A and B are shown apart, each in its own frame.
Chain A
Amino acid sequence: MIRFSHVVKEYPRTGLALNDVTFRVNKGEFAFLTGPSGAGKSTILRLVIVEETPTAGEVRVSGSLTSGMPRAEIPRLRRRFGVVFQDFRLLEDRTAEENVAFALEVTGAPREAIPARVSRLLTQVGLASKGTSYPKELSGGEQQRVAIARALVNDPVLLVADEPTGNLDDRATRGVFQLLRDINAAGTAVLMATHNLELVKRNSYRVIEVNRGQLVFDSAEGDGAGVVTTTTPI
Chain B
Amino acid sequence: MRLTFREVMLGVRRSPLLSTLSVVTIAFSLFAFGLFGLLALNVDQALRGVEEHVEIVAFLADGTLPESISAAMGDISAFPEVARVEQVSPEQALARARAELPEFQDVFDASFLPPSIEVRLKEGHRDPATVKDVTQRIQTYPFVDDVRYGEDWVKKLYDIRNIAGAAGIALGLLFAAVAVIIIGTTIRMTVLARTREISIMRLVGATDGFVRFPFLIDGFLKGLVGGLLALFLTWGANWLISTNLIQTSFFDPGVATLGVLGGGIIGLLGSALSVGRHLRRV
Contacts and interface: CB of A to CB of B under 8 A. Distances in A.
Interface of A: 49, 51, 71-72, 75-76, 78-79, 83, 89, 91, 93, 102-103, 105-108, 150, 153-154
B14 interface: yes
Interface string B165-206: 000000000000000000000000000000011011111111
A71 B279 CA distance: 11
Given A89-B203, A91-B197, A106 B210 contact: yes
A51 B198 CA distance: 13
Nearest to B208: A71
Contacts of A72: 207-208
B14 A150 contact: no
B50 interface: no
Contact of B14 (A49, A89, A93, A106): A93
Contact of B200 (A51, A89, A105, A107): A89
B246 interface: no
Nearest to B280: A71
Interface of B: 3, 10, 14, 196-197, 199-208, 210, 282
B24 to A, nearest CB: 24
A107 B204 contact: yes
Contact of A154 (B200, B205, B208, B210): B205
B206 A106 contact: yes
Q: Which 5 A-B pairs have the closest CB atoms?
A: A79-B205, A106-B206, A103-B204, A78-B205, A75-B207
A106 B208 contact: no
B197 A75 contact: no
| Interface of A, helix, strand, loop or mixed by DSSP | loop
A191 to B, nearest CB: 15
Contacts of B14: 93
Contacts of B203: 49, 78, 83, 89
B197 A76 contact: no
| Interface of B, helix, strand, loop or mixed by DSSP | helix
A114 to B, nearest CB: 11
Nearest to B204: A103
A150 B205 contact: no
A75 B202 contact: yes
A54 B242 CA distance: 67
B197 A107 contact: no
A70 to B, nearest CB: 11
B199 A75 contact: no
A107 B3 CA distance: 12
Contacts of B201: 102, 106
Contact of A106 (B196, B199, B204, B282): B204
Contacts of A79: 204-205
B70 to A, nearest CB: 78
A49 to B, nearest CB: 7
A49 B203 CA distance: 8
A153 B205 CA distance: 11
Determine which residue in A75, A89, A105, A107 has the highest number of CB atoms from chain B within 10 A of its CB, and name it: A75
Contact of B3 (A78, A89, A105, A153): A105
Contacts of A150: 204
Contact of A91 (B3, B200, B202): B200
A154 B203 CA distance: 12
A122 B202 CA distance: 22
A149 B96 CA distance: 93
B205 A76 contact: yes
Determine which residue in A89, A102, A106, A108 has the highest number of CB atoms from chain B within 10 A of its CB, and name it: A106
B202 A89 contact: no
A205 B205 CA distance: 29
Contacts of B200: 89, 91, 102
Contact of A153 (B197, B199, B202, B204): B204
